[in-house]
């Protein structure tokens, strides 16, 4: 396994802390193998498979581990002395993760994905090149994040609002960047509109 996999206890059913046994994630589906390949290389097979698992608790735990690794600087490219290309590679990999998880229907998984987004913004603070990399990586994700505003679930709505505020406070991005999708029609029926038709 990778250093990240070993640091986060990947492999087998354990490693999630608290002596708690979690199920082993299913192997990656052929349909996502190409998309997940950079994640396997960067984070290890166990964490990557957990991110794509059908089991929400595995997706949630993997996202929490990524946020923790960003905060601690233990993910490849996240350390304060890592060269800009290493951080850029990490930001692109996390954008792949967030593309799927910010749209996750499970509110806990969405909340943990927003935690990864916030930790990524925090890891970029004080570094102009990192802020630009986060901005480039996150821009395609803004519509998914905007779609969660007005979600019928108050927790999802609050999490989306907090994530937008975090992006708006990030130097190099700011309110115009965070709000650019808010003035466009949603890409699909979500939130309150979806709740009324469901």
pLDDT tier at 193, thresholds 50, 70, 90: very low
Overall average pLDDT of the 102-128 stretch: 93
User: Average per-residue pLDDT in the chain?
Assistant: 84
Higher-scoring residue by pLDDT: 22, 133: 133
pLDDT tier at 107, thresholds 50, 70, 90: very high
pLDDT at 99 over 50: yes
User: What is the reported pLDDT for 195?
Assistant: 37
pLDDT tier at 112, thresholds 50, 70, 90: very high
pTM for the structure as a whole: 0.82
Q: Could you please report the per-residue DSSP string of 41-77? A: HHH-HHHHHHHT-S-HHHHHHHHHHHHHHHHHT-STT
pLDDT at 1 over 60: no
pLDDT tier at 161, thresholds 50, 70, 90: very high
pLDDT at 3 over 70: no
Distance from C-alpha of 112 to C-alpha of 3, rounded to nearest angstrom: 22
pLDDT tier at 172, thresholds 50, 70, 90: confident
CB 90 within 8 A of CB 44: no
pLDDT tier at 20, thresholds 50, 70, 90: low
User: What is the reported pLDDT for 4?
Assistant: 52
**pLDDT tens-digit series, residues 67-80:** 999 999 999 999 98
Return the structure tokens found at 84: 């800009």
Overall average pLDDT of the 131-150 stretch: 90
Return the structure tokens found at 154: 């108050």
First to last CA, the chain: 44
């Amino acid at each position: 396994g990778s250093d990240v996999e070993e640091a986060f206890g990947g492999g087998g059913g354990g490693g999630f802390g608290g002596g708690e046994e979690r199920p082993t994630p299913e192997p990656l589906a052929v349909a996502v193998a190409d998309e997940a390949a950079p994640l396997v290389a960067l984070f290890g097979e166990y964490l990557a498979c957990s991110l794509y698992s059908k089991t929400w608790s595995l997706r949630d735990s993997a996202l929490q581990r990524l946020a923790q690794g960003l905060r601690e600087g233990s993910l490849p490219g996240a350390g304060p002395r890592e060269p800009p290309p290493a951080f850029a590679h990490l930001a692109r990999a996390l954008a792949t993760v967030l593309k799927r998880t910010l749209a996750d229907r499970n509110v806990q998984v969405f909340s943990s994905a927003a935690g990864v987004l916030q930790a990524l913004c925090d890891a970029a603070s004080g570094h102009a090149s990192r802020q630009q990399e986060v901005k480039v990586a996150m821009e395609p994700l803004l519509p998914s994040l905007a779609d969660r505003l007005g979600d019928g679930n108050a927790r999802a709505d609050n999490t989306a609002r907090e994530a937008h505020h975090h992006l708006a406070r990030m130097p190099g991005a700011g309110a115009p960047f965070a709000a650019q999708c808010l003035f466009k029609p949603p890409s699909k029926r979500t939130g309150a509109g979806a709740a009324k038709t469901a």
